[in-house]
Each structure stands twice: as C-alpha cells, then as structure tokens.
Structure 1
Amino acid sequence: MKIVLSFLIVILTTLSLNAQVKQDSIVDKLKFNGVEIDGNIDKFVNKMKTKGFIVKETKDNIVTMLGEFIGKECRLYVIPTPKSKIVCKVAVFFGGGSWESLKREYHNVKDLFSKKYGKSSNEFEFFKDPYYEGDGYELQALKNDKCVYASFYTPKGGAIMVEISGACTVSVSYENSANMDKAKQEREESAMDEI
C-alpha cells in the first residue's frame, strides 16, 4: 500500500510540475492575438490571416493589415528586423472620434491589460502647456505632441504600451525585446557598411 501511495504521489507531483513548466513557457512568450511575436514575417502574417486579418499593403518591409482586435475594427502594423525579417514589433490602432471617446477607450483597454499583466509598470497621463484637459483643444494637443496618455507593461520577453496616439486613435504596441535588440544591431551593421 505504501508503494502504491508513494507511486501516486510521484505521478501527481510530476504532472503538477509539467503543468507549471508549460504555463511558465506560455507566459515567457509575448503574443499578439495568440500568436508569438517572433519568427519570419511571412509566417506571422499568414497566422494573422487565419485570425481574420487581411493585408492592406506592404511598404518599407512593414506589413499593414486590417482586422479586429478586442472586438473593434483595427489597423495592424507588423514590423520585422531590417535584414533577417524576424517580427520584432506589432502595433494596432483603433478607435477615434472625440477626446471623451478616446479617453474612455484608452481606460477600457488599459483595464483589460492590467487584468492580464497586472498593474502597469509606468503610467503617464498629462497635457503640456498651453493645453490642458477641458480646454476643448485636446485633439489638437494630441496632434501637436502636447498630450501624453500612455501605460507600459513589461511581461517576460518584451514590452507592451497602451496609449492615445498622435493620430487621435488608441494604440497598443507589443515589442519582443530580443528581436528589438537584433533590429538595432542589424541597423547599426547596415550603417557601418555604408561608412
């Protein structure tokens, strides 16, 4: 009986550890819409197509797609490293309209990300002179880079920023840290080749 009980404890412990390892590996990989932000850009784009996104254009190695994100129509930009064409960043833009609707959307999205990733690591919500909230010129402040509404999350393997962009939309950008470093290295190598 002791042998059976011991055997059962070993099996349950092993299963528990395997489940934890699988959960940890899921958390270590930064994903957008369930797809890891990594690997060849063409493969990433094809995976986004299976999620309902369609390619609008490709310009300067950046693929622009249209689709749906958190239930809203959006524009998705897929950005690869310059030479190796590995996905290093994705940015999604949606929403628009009045300052009040942008601010409401921003806070709703920020709340969703806080539920998934915990409290933001940094948060900035302010206007720069001569603008202030309530002056009726909030959208002009956005366009003139005089308004900052951004929250940053730092999950393992990358960074996520939720913001009200200068394009008067809400945007969410995901960066794979290792691939962003690779992109910087490839840009520097390219510059050195030109010198």
Structure 2
Amino acid sequence: MKKLLLIVCLLLSCGVVCAQSEHLIFKGLSIDGSKQEFVKELKRQGYVNVQEMGNDDILSGTFIGQDSYVFVGSTPITNIMWKVGVLFKTTYDTWSLIKETYDGLVDVYTQKYGNPVLEQKDFKAPWKEGDGHELIALKSDMCAYKTMFAYAKNGTIIGYIAISMTTACQILIQYEDSINADLLTKEKAQEI
C-alpha cells in the first residue's frame, strides 16, 4: 500500500512539474530558449530581419494571412525568450475595417483559447462608437480596444495573448509566456 501511495504521489508531483514547465507556443515554437535560436527558427519559416529598423529583434513575414512585423523579447541577462509581438503592417483607414478585422481575430482566438479574461472596448468623452469619428478617437488615444486571453493547462497559467488596436490604426497581437515573464522580473530586480 505504501508503494502504491508513493507511486501516486510521484506521478502527481511529476504532473505538476511538467505543467509548470510548459511554455506558450507561437507559430509552433515554444516561447522559451535563447532569442537567437527562436529567431533562427522564425527565419526557417520564411521571416526575414527588418534591417531598416536597425534592430535584429524585428522580423517581417506573414502571420495568419497578414503582412506583419514580428518583435521578439528576451530577458536582459540570460537572453531567454519571454514575449512575441505581431504588428499587422496594414494601417486601417476606416473604423469598420479595423473593427471587422479585430472582431474576426477575437473570434478565432476565442475558439482556440476560450473566453477572454479581459475585454476592453472604451471611448473617452466626447467620443463614442457610432459617432462617425471612431478613428479620430483611436488616433488620439481616446479609444481603447483590447482583448486578453489566458492559456491554462491543469489549472496553471501558461501565458497570455492580447489583441489590441494601436493609435496608428494597426492591430497588435502579443504573446507572453508566464514562466519567462517571471524570469524577466527576477533579472530586472538583479539590476536594481
């Protein structure tokens, strides 16, 4: 009986350790490991560095059918991946088009990750949706559209995905790995 109890305890603790070591996935790649390896894998998928921006952390390619920039974020000391951002290159010139694209993305991500944990669709006075000036409000930072999803497995948050509209009338999608976001905080604290 003791052996059975020991085996069950070991299996349960192994399951907890495995769940806590899982990372968020972007384009089939775990948001973990070195930034250089992550970028190398993205390049294998057809992404290219954006030289004119003077930064090797920015790549260009297609993401879910949209011409996009991909930004990679790593921790300052160990250079471990913790975040990936995707900015659609399209600058939307009508509210109906940016809202339709945004709502479509929210639907797709809801199917994959479940209901959002945060949904913000706010206009600050005097602006409001339906007044015909939504893009002006967005450009003036008087409009906030953001939806956030939490990806959890076995009760453990693996990471967050956020979709938002920018003041440049573009759409931004951000993937943040929870384990490595904690590592980022620890490494920043070491620099204080």
Which TM-score band applies after superposition, normalised by the shorter structure?
Answer: 0.7 to 0.9
Deviation at 1:122, TM superposition (A): 1.6
CA distance in 1, matches of 2:28, 2:48: 17
Alignment of 1:23-102 (within 5 A): 28-57=22-51, 63-94=57-88, 95-97=90-92, 98-102=94-98
CA distance in 2, matches of 1:135, 1:184: 42
Change (3 A) 1:180 1:61: farther
1:133 partner SS: coil
Aligned residues: 168
Name the structure 2 match of 1:3.
none
Unaligned runs of 5+ in 2: 1-14, 153-157
Return 5+ residue gaps in structure 1 as ranges.
Answer: 1-20
Q: Which residue of 2 aligns with 1:106?
A: 102
TM-score (norm 2): 0.80
Q: Which has the higher contact order (CA 8 A, sep 6+)?
A: 2
Q: Which structure has the larger Rg over C-alpha atoms?
A: 1
Cα distance between partner residues in 1 of 2:133 and 2:113? 33
State the distance in 2 between where 1:58 and 1:90 align.
Answer: 20
Deviates more, 1:95-104 or 1:44-53: 95-104
Match of 1:149 in 2: 145
Contact 2:49 2:56 in 1 (8 A): no
CA deviation profile, 1:12-61 (whole Å, cap 9, x unmatched): xxxxxxxxx9xx97xx4311111111110000000100111101149797
1:155 partner SS? strand
**Which one has a larger percent helix, Structure 1 or Structure 2?**
1
2:118 corresponds, among 119, 122, 134, to 122
Cα RMSD for the two superposed structures: 2.3
